Amino acid sequence: MAEQSSEIPETLSSKMEAVSIASTQASSSSAGLQISEDVEKRYQIVRSIGEECIQEEELKNLLAKKAAPICYDGFEPSGRMHIAQGVMKVINVNKLTSAGCRVKIWIADWFAQLNNKMGGDLKKIKVVGEYFQEIWKAAGMNNDKVEFLWSSDEINARADKYWPLVMDIARKNKLPRILRCVQIMGRSETDELSAAQILYPCMQCADIFFLEADICQLGMDQRKVNVLAREYCDDIKRKNKPIILSHHMLPGLQQGQEKMSKSDPLSAIFMEDEEAEVNVKIKKAYCPPKIVQGNPCLEYIRYIVLPWFDEFTVERNEEYGGNKTFKNFEEIAAEYESGELHPGDLKKGLMNALNKILQPVRDHFKTDERAKNLLRQIKAYKVTK
C-alpha cells in the first residue's frame, strides 16, 4: 500500500500533542475537586469536542481518576462519507487520543441492516465499512489508540453478555420511551417502523455498556439514546454513568437543511469529491450577505477549517480590503455581519481550505488499488433511507 502524505497541519497536531502526566500542580474545579494542571489541560481538550456535555464535573472526575478512559463512537455504513463524518471525526478522535483516551469505533453493520441501509444487504454494508476506514486513514486519523470493532463480530463472539443486556434494557423501558429514541436512526416517532427498528435503540443503549464506554462521543442527534443509557444506570443502581459528549451537527449546504443528506449531492461535500465538485457545491451553497445565523458556509469554517488549520484566509484585491487571515470565528462573524467580508470572498477562502484538506484523500483513492476498488463499488450502490 502506497504511503500517504496525509499529515495533519502542525497547528492542529501541536494542539493535540499528548499531554504529560507529570504535572502535579493542583487547581480547583467548581465542585471543589482538586485536579492537576495536567488533568485540567486534558479536560479542556476533551470538552472542546462537545456542543453539550452531561455532566462536566463527572468528566473532570473521570480524567482525574483514569489515565485512559474509553470513548465510544459508532456509525452505520450507509453510503459515501460526507465531510462531517470524515474530517470532523478525524479532528475529534485525534483530540481524544492526544488527551490519553482510548477510542472504540463501532462499525454498526448489523444496525445498518436493521435500519435497511443499503437495502439491508450485509455484504454491501461491509464494503462501505471498509471504505470508511480507508478514508479516515487517508485523512490523517491517529490510529494508535483507536480500535475499529465490527458489531456483528463482537456480538457473535460475546453473545452471552450482549443479548441479556439488550433484553434487560427492553424490559425496563416502556415502548413510548424507546420510540422517542428513533431519531438516532434518522426516523421519527410518526414513521411506520419495522419491529427491527424498535429493537435498534435497545441494542444501541446496550452497546455503551458492552463496550465498557466511559464517554459516549456521538452527535447531538444521538443524544436521546445516550440519555437512555444514563437512565438505565438509575434503574440498575449503577453509580458510574456514561458521560455524554455530543458534538455539533453540520447543516446541509442548501437553505433550510438541518442535516446533510447523502441522497442530495448538493447538500454536502463528500470526502473524495474532486476540486471542481467542491467548488460548484460551495458556489451554490446558501450564504446570505451579513447573516451569520443559519449560514452553512460559516458553519463549515467554524467546525472544519478553523480546527484543522487554526486560521482562515481570505484572498482578495487590495481595493476590496486585501488578503486577510482570521484566527478565530468571532472575528470572522463580526466582519461578515458588518458587510466588510463579502460572501464571494468567504466562499473562495472556504473552497481553497476544503480542497487542501481533501487532497490527500483524493490522492489515496486514485493511487491505492484497494481503496479505488472500494470507491468504485460504493458509487454503484443505491443509497436507501
Q: At 99, which amino acid appears?
A: A
Q: Binning pLDDT at 50, 70 and 90, where does residue 266 land?
A: confident
- Give the lowest-confidence range in 11-25, 104-118, 233-247, 342-356: 11-25
pLDDT on residue 2:
39
More confident site: 198 or 152: 152
Range(s) for CATH 1.10.240.10 in the chain?
275-380
Pairing state of beta strands 243-247 and 102-107? unpaired
pLDDT on residue 158:
97
CATH superfamily of 37-247: HUPs (3.40.50.620)
Q: What is the pLDDT of residues 165-224, one digit of tens each?
A: 999 999 999 998 988 888 776 777 677 778 888 888 999 999 999 999 999 999 998 999
- Helices 343-367 and 369-380 cross at an angle (nearest 10°) of 120
Question: pLDDT at residue 19 above 60?
Answer: no
Average pLDDT for residues 267-278, to the nearest whole number?
94
More confident site: 331 or 257: 331
Range(s) for CATH 3.40.50.620 in the chain?
37-247
Which of 304, 299, 301, 296 has the alpha carbon at shortest distance from 264?
Answer: 296
Q: What is the pLDDT of residues 85-121, one digit of tens each?
A: 999 999 999 999 999 999 999 999 999 998 888 999 9
More confident site: 190 or 68: 68
Average pLDDT for residues 140-163, to the nearest whole number?
96
Average pLDDT for residues 48-55, to the nearest whole number?
94
Tell me the average pLDDT of the chain: 88
C-alpha distance from residue 375 to each of 3, 61, 303 (Å): 18, 43, 26
Question: pLDDT at residue 361 above 80?
Answer: yes
pLDDT on residue 56:
95
Q: Please give the Cα distance from 130 to 168 (Å, whole number).
A: 32
CB atoms within 10 A of CB 63: 27
pLDDT on residue 267:
87
pLDDT on residue 180:
85
pLDDT on residue 30:
42
Cis amide bond preceding 222, omega within 30? no
Q: Please give the Cα distance from 39 to 63 (Å, whole number).
A: 6
C-alpha distance from residue 152 to each of 112, 122, 159, 160 (Å): 11, 10, 10, 14
pLDDT on residue 317:
85
pLDDT on residue 231:
95
State the SS3 of the chain.
CCCCCCCCCHHHHHHCCCCCCCCCCEEECCCCCEEEHHHHHHHHHHHCCCCEEECHHHHHHHHHHCCCCEEEEEECCCCCCEHHHHHHHHHHHHHHHHCCCEEEEEECHHHHHHCCHHHHCHHHHHHHHHHHHHHHHHHCCCCCCEEEEEHHHHHHHCHHHHHHHHHHHHHCCCHHHHHCCHHHHCCCCCCCCCHHHHHHHHHHHHHHHHCCCCEEEEEHHHHHHHHHHHHHHHHCCCCCCCEEEEECCCCCCCCCCCCCCCCCHHHCCECCCCHHHHHHHHHHCCCCCCCCCCCHHHHHHHHHHHHHHCCEEECCCHHHCCCEEECCHHHHHHHHHHCCCCHHHHHHHHHHHHHHHHHHHHHHHHHCHHHHHHHHHHHHCCCCC
Q: What percent of the chain has pLDDT over 90?
A: 73
Q: At 19, which amino acid appears?
A: V
Q: At 297, which amino acid appears?
A: C
The CATH T-level fold of domain 275-380 is Tyrosyl-Transfer RNA Synthetase (1.10.240)
